[in-house]
Amino acid sequence: MGLRKRAVEDELETVVLERGYETLLLALRSESALNRRDAVRELSAYPQAVTDLLNTLTSEPEHAVREALLGALQQLGGEPVVAGLITLLRSEDAVLRNGAIEVLQTMPEGVALHMLELLNDRDSDVRIFAIDILQQLAHPQAPEWLLSVLKDETHINVVSTAVDRLAEVGRAEMVPELMAIKQRFPKEAYLAFAVDLACRRIEEV
C-alpha cells in the first residue's frame, strides 16, 4: 500500500467517443440523471440546442442536471437564451427563478435590450426580479434604470428593492430623487429608513 500510479494513465488515455447531436438530444430524456447531465454538458457546444435545453430546464427534477443546464445556457449565450431565461422569471419555482436570475446577471448586453420592458412589467414580482438582476449586472446604465424605478414605480415593494440596490450603486446626483421617495410614501417608516441609509452610503463613497 502507499502512493501508486496505475490505472489513471490507462483511463486518461481512453478515447472519448463523440456522440452525435441527435443522440445527445435523446439522452436528455434518459432515466439516469448522470446521463442527462453528461448530455447537457456536451450539448453546450451546439448553439442549435438552446430551445431543447430551455424546455428541459422547466421539467428537470435533479438539481445537478439543472445546474448543468444553466451552465450550458450561460456558455451558449445570445438572444434566444436571454429571452428564454426571462420567461422563467414568472416561474413559481424559486430555485429555477433564482438560477435564471444568476445567469442573466452575467449577460449585460443581452439583458440591456429587455430591461425597460422588465421594469415596466405588469407583474410587480417580475419588476422586483428585474431589480435583482440589476444588482449584479455589470452595465453602465444600471444606476439610471434603478433611478427610473424611483420616478415611475408605484408599488412599495418594488420601490423599496430599488432603494436598497441604489445604496450600493447610486451616485451623489441621485440623492434628491431618493429623498423625494419619502414625500411620495410619507406613511412608510421602513422606506424612509432605507432612503436615509442609501443616501448615507452614497455620500460616504
Partner 1 sequence: MLAASVAERDGTISDVEFERFRDFFYRKTGIRFENNKRYFVDKRLLERMQQTGHESFRSYFTFMRFQASRDELQELINSMTVNETYFFREEYQFKCMVDELLNEVVRHKSPGESIRIWSLPSSSGEEPYSIALYLLEHWPLLAKVDVEICSSDIDSKILQSCRKGIYSQRSVKQLPKALLKRHFKPLSGDRFQIDRELRESIQFTQANLNDATQMRRYRNFDLIFCRNLLIYFDDASRRQAAELFYDALNPGGFIFLGHSESMSRISSLFSVRKFSKALAYQKPLR
4 touches partner 1 (CB under 8 A): yes
Establish if 71 lies at the interface with partner 1 (CB under 8 A): yes
Q: Supply the minimum distance, in Å, between the C-beta of residue 12 and partner 1.
A: 5
Q: Which is nearer to partner 1, 63 or 200 (CB)?
A: 63
The residue within the footprint of partner 1, chosen from 41, 114, 182, 184 (CB under 8 A), is 41
Of 8-16, 119-127, 158-166, 180-188, which part binds partner 1 (CB under 8 A)? Answer: 8-16
8 binds partner 1 (CB under 8 A): yes
Q: Is residue 94 near partner 1 by the rule CB under 8 A?
A: no
Distances (CA, A) of 84 to 28, 91, 177: 18, 12, 34
Phi, psi (5° rounding) for residue 9? Answer: -60, -50
Cβ within 8 Å of residue 28, ≥6 positions away: 36, 39, 40, 43, 52, 56
Q: Does 38 bind partner 1 (CB under 8 A)?
A: yes
Q: Per-residue contact track with partner 1, 161 to 200, x per CB under 8 A?
A: ----------------------------------------
Sign of the Cα torsion 149, 155, 161, 166 reads positive
The DSSP call for residue 45 is: T
- Positive/negative CA dihedral, 185, 188, 192, 194: negative
74 near partner 1, rule: CB under 8 A: yes
Burial of 24 (0-12, 13-18, 19+ CB in 10 A): buried
Q: Which stretch binds partner 1 (CB under 8 A): 40-48, 80-88, 124-132, 139-147?
A: 40-48
User: 160 — phi, psi (to 5°)?
Assistant: -60, -40
Q: Which residues bind partner 1 (CB under 8 A)?
A: 1-9, 11-14, 16, 18, 37-38, 41-42, 44-45, 63-64, 67-68, 70-71, 74-75, 106
